[in-house]
Structure 1
Amino acid sequence: MTEKEKMLNGDYYNSRDPELIRIYHQARKLLKVYNNLDSELMAEREQVLNELFEFKGDGVWIEAPFFCDYGENISIGDNTFINTNCMFLDNNRITIGKNGLIAPYVQIYTASHPLEASKRIIENGKESAYLTSAKPVTIGNNVWIGGNSIIYPDVTIGDNVTIGAGSVVTNTIPDNVLALGNPCKVVKEL
C-alpha cells in the first residue's frame, strides 16, 4: 500500500513521501497562481480551480487567498461560496455540498496525530518524523459555516445546517439545526 493509499484509508502514513510531496508542490504552484490572479479573470480562476480540485461544481466562488494541502482531495458542489483566508487541510477527502456558505478564516482539518509525544514523534538520527493519520470531512447541502470556525477530522455536518461563528466542530452535526460553541453543540432545530 502506498503512503497516499494509507493516508486516504485513515492509516498512519509518511507525509514526507515523495509522491505526496510532489502533489503538495503542485498544489502550491496552483494556489500561488490562483491567489495572485486579478479577480476579473474569471475563466483563468475557473481553470486553476478545475485543475486543483477533485471536483468543482458550477457557480463555485472562492475568494483569494485560499489555502489547502493537496487540493485533489477536495470536492465542492454547485453554487458554494468560500470566503477569504480559508484553510482546508485535505490529507483526506473534504466534500462540501451545493449552496454552501463558508465564511472567512474557516479551517477544515482532516489530519491528526497521536496525543502522546512518545507515540507522535519518531526520531531517526538528525531528523524526526511525526505519525499522521487522516479522516474525511463531509459537509452537506445548504450549509452556512460562520467565520473563524474549525472543523475537525471525521466530522459530518448534515444538510441545511448553520454553524455559529467561532465554533469548534468536533462531532457530527445532524440535518436542519443551528449548532455553535466550543465544542460545537446543537442549540436549535431549524
Structure 2
Amino acid sequence: MKSERQKMLDGELYNALDAELVAARAAARALCARINAPGCSEAEQRAVLMRLLGSGGDSATITPPFFCDYGSQIELGENVFFNFNCVLLDVCRIRIGARTLVGPAVQIYTPLHPMDAVLRRTQEYGKPVEIGCDAWIGGGAIILPGVRIGDRAVIGAGSVVTRDVPDDVLAVGNPCKVIRRLTSPF
C-alpha cells in the first residue's frame, strides 16, 4: 500500500494531515525561517537552500522572504532568480529552467482540492508545474497547478496562468492569454 507521501507525489488523492507530511512541512518551514531571518549570510542561505530544495540550491538566488510547503519537490536550473516574497506550494514537482527570473510576490501552486465537499474535508491532490529556461515571470503572477510555461516566455505582472503558455511569447491577464510572439530583443 502506498504511503500518503507517495500518493501526493504521484498526483493521487492523499491526506495532507498524515504525520509524515505534517513533519516534512514543519521541517521546510523551519528552513525557510532560517533563510528569512534577518542577518542570514549568503553562505548560510546557500547551505540552507542545498538542504531545502530538491535541486538547484547551489546556484539559485532567492531574495527573502521565501516560502514553500516541502522544498524537496522544487527543481531549479542554474542561476534561477527569485525576488522578494515568493510562495511555492510544492506538493508535486515544480521544475524551473535555467536563468529564469521570478518577480516579487509570485505564487506557484501545485495542490488541488476535490469539488466534492465531503471528500475535500480529508483529501487533496496535485499536478506538477514546469517553467522553461530563460523565462520571466512578472511580479504578483499566480501559476496554477498543472501549467507548463515555455522557454523564453514572458508572463506579465499580476497574471493568473490557468493553462499552458508556449515558448517565445508574451502572455498577460486574468486569465493569462498570449498577446504576441517575442521577436524583438525589447
Q: Same fold (TM over 0.5)?
A: yes
Find the residue that maps to 2:87 and give its secondary structure: strand
The 2-side partners of 1:23 and 1:118 are apart by: 26
Aligned to 1:76: 76
The 1-side partners of 2:105 and 2:164 are apart by: 21
Q: CA RMSD, aligned part only?
A: 1.2
Q: Could you tell me how far 1:29 is from its partner in structure 2?
A: 1.1
Match of 2:127 among 124, 135, 139: 135
Aligned to 2:113: 113
Q: Could you tell me how far 1:57 is from its partner in structure 2?
A: 5.4
Q: Could you tell me how far 1:58 is from its partner in structure 2?
A: 4.5
The 1-side partners of 2:59 and 2:16 are apart by: 33
Q: Could you tell me how far 1:37 is from its partner in structure 2?
A: 4.7
Say if 1:148 and 1:165, in contact at 8 Å, map to a contact too: yes
Matches within 5 A, 1:23-42: 23-38=24-39, 41-42=41-42
Aligned to 1:47: 47
Question: Structure 1 23/119 Cα, relative in aligned 2: closer, same or farther at 3 Å?
Answer: closer
Task: Say whether 1:156 aligns with 2:148.
Answer: yes
Find the residue that maps to 2:167 and give its secondary structure: coil
The 2-side partners of 1:133 and 1:83 are apart by: 28
Match of 1:176 among 157, 168, 182: 168
Q: Could you tell me how far 1:18 is from its partner in structure 2?
A: 1.2
Say if 2:50 and 2:58, in contact at 8 Å, map to a contact too: no
Say if 1:57 and 1:79, in contact at 8 Å, map to a contact too: no
Give the unaligned 5+ runs of structure 2: none
Q: Could you tell me how far 1:118 is from its partner in structure 2?
A: 3.9
Q: Could you tell me how far 1:38 is from its partner in structure 2?
A: 2.1
Per the normalisation by structure 1, the TM-score is: 0.92
Q: What letter is aligned with 1:140?
A: G
Q: Could you tell me how far 1:116 is from its partner in structure 2?
A: 3.8
Aligned to 1:22: 23
Aligned to 1:10: 11
Q: What is the aligned length?
A: 181
Say if 2:46 and 2:58, in contact at 8 Å, map to a contact too: no
Say if 1:139 and 1:157, in contact at 8 Å, map to a contact too: yes
Aligned to 2:179: 187
Aligned to 2:62: 62
